[in-house]
Amino acid sequence: MQFDDNAAPKDGIKTISRRDVLKVLGAGIIAPGIMGCTSRPPVTLTYRDELPPELYNASVRALAAAIRSGDVSSVEVVQAFLDRIETVNAKINAVVALAGDEALDAARDADARLSRGEVTGPLHGVPMTIKDSLDTAGIVTTYGTKGRRTFVPPKDATVVARLKSAGAILMGKTNTPEFTLSYETGNKLFGVTNNPYDLTRTPGGSSGGASAILAAGGSPFDIGSDYGGSIRLPAHCTGIAGIKPTSGRVPRTGHGFPFGGLLDAFQQLGPMARHATDLSLLLPILAGPDAVDPYIVPMPLKDPATVKPQDLRVSFHTDNGIQTPTPAISQVVTTAAAVLSDIGARVDEARPTGIESSYDVMMTAWNRCDPPLIKKLLRAAGTSQEESTLQWAFEAPAATDEEIVDAFTRMALCRSQMLSFMESYDVILCPVNALPAMHHGSEDGQDLRPFSYTMTYNLTGWPGAVVRGGTSPEGLPIGVQIVARPWREDIVLAVAQLLESELGGFQAPDL
């Protein structure tokens, strides 16, 4: 549906109108790429592979293409990122283990192979960092817990092995809260990671070390894990792009918070980079069964390039009925909806049925089901209760069988209501969080309602991506969350790429 100047609410649903767009334009937050309300030709999504003067500002696609063509060597690329890590890491404390010599050796080998006409894969010679919750052979992997302070895994996590097989080169590990269980990034081993846009604030959690070093230019990509928003929140806080795939898409083998457990479906691994186009390059490398994680489904990935955004049915909401976001965040989401409406997509202002209960459902499930698993993980790591930051797991009362059954019944009902809503829509646009990046320590003693916007889609298991859509009055990035039906990462990534193009996307911090 095109813009309707007379659009009005009907059964709680409002089709976005031309008048709504003009209000957004008047708010001064819309990006320069949106010049008005006139309709435009059908959208064709394209990739740009230009190599910028500073190699550390390049996209993954640009680096891979330049290395393969011989315009730049892998050694030059790896050295540029290692130099950048040396420049910025003292300020942000994002990289907690460095393998610089090993990375340069691997880069020399990649260049030698290329000179013989051998290309390892689509990431031949491209460097990466990896979140410290993922096992890396030969490099210390702590999971952010004291009991593993010197532990060196004998083999790589599945996703790490797949990236190396595709030609990527590991430079180092990025900080994570203990066993990834916090919306801020810090632990008793390595301390707190800072947001490169404001060092007094968090880059989010739990993939905050990854998001901080990506935003600061110290790595082209990383792999995050998401149990309640741990890819999407850091992307929002630091202005980068990230995707939580559908539950069952990417193996968790070798991840600190393992597959299995009562809430297995909540946890997914996914790529993080500065540009949405890089996510669509990386996700196919990571996806698919590994014959170890028993919950991974052999579902084919569809190509985002085949999606026609102008044909999509879009729902957007700026308030989930749990926590109202800041006005700037609401305006950014409305702007994103206007972009899709402007190209011809049908855009309704409507939020999923049952979403208001999702926060309470998630919190009940975590409090009932997680404490026994967390205590087991700490024992296996050799971390004592006194050494752990996860005291709430020891303080929570033991759940009864009836309470656990009730939690699962409520989860199923909420999922069912949400899924029924999606019969009418292909994609949802909404905030990532009710707030921009918080000051350090803001999570302590506070409820988690601002984080409910990401929690909901761990509960459903649907794919969700984040790209930067605007800037807060404090000068902090604001992300837009894009969610689709199960297994439709192609739609999520196509919309993410379109919004990134129209709203400006990543903007480097002044660090």
Instruction: Say whether 69 is catalytic.
Output: no
Q: What is d(CA 376, CA 382) in angstroms, rounded to the nearest whole number?
A: 10
* Euclidean distance between CA atoms 85 and 212, whole angstroms: 11
Tokens of 63: 């680096």
Q: DSSP letters of 210-260?
A: HHHHHHTTS-SEEEEEESSSTTHHHHHHHT-EEEE--TTSS--TTBSS-S-
Q: Is residue 416 annotated as a catalytic residue, yes or no?
A: no
Spatial strand order of the sheet with 169-174 comes to 95-98, 169-174, 127-131
* CA gap 327, 338 in Å, rounded: 16
Which position has the token pair 């100047």? 5
The secondary structure of residue 5, as a DSSP letter, is: T
Nearest residue to 134 (alpha-carbon basis) of 205, 82, 210: 210
C-alpha distances (whole Å) from 458 to each of 260, 262, 263, 329, 373 are 15, 14, 10, 21, 18
Which of 59, 131, 173, 330 is flagged as catalytic?
131
3-state DSSP call for residue 134?
Answer: strand
The one catalytic residue in 17, 219, 225, 230 is 230
* Residue from 206, 211, 225, 315 carrying the catalytic annotation: 206
The Cα 334–Cα 164 span in angstroms is 40
Taking alpha carbons only, the member of 473, 426, 434, 477 closest to residue 455 is: 434
Tell which residue, 319, 359, 327, has the closest CA to residue 14: 319
Question: Which residue type, as a one-letter code, is found at position 473?
Answer: P
* Nearest to 479, CA basis, from 241, 167, 172: 241
Residue 131 a catalytic site member: yes
CA distance 320 to 229: 15
Sign (positive/negative) of CA torsion 121, 171, 466, 267? positive
CA–CA distance, 471 with 331 (Å, rounded to integer): 10
Q: Is 233 in contact with 213 (CB distance < 8 Å)?
A: no
Of residues 437, 479, 431, 485, the one with CA closest to residue 455: 431
Q: Return the closest-CA partner of residue 56 out of 241, 166, 169, 216.
A: 216
| Of 193, 62, 57, 34, nearest in space to 509 by CA | 57
Q: Catalytic amino acids?
A: 131, 206, 230
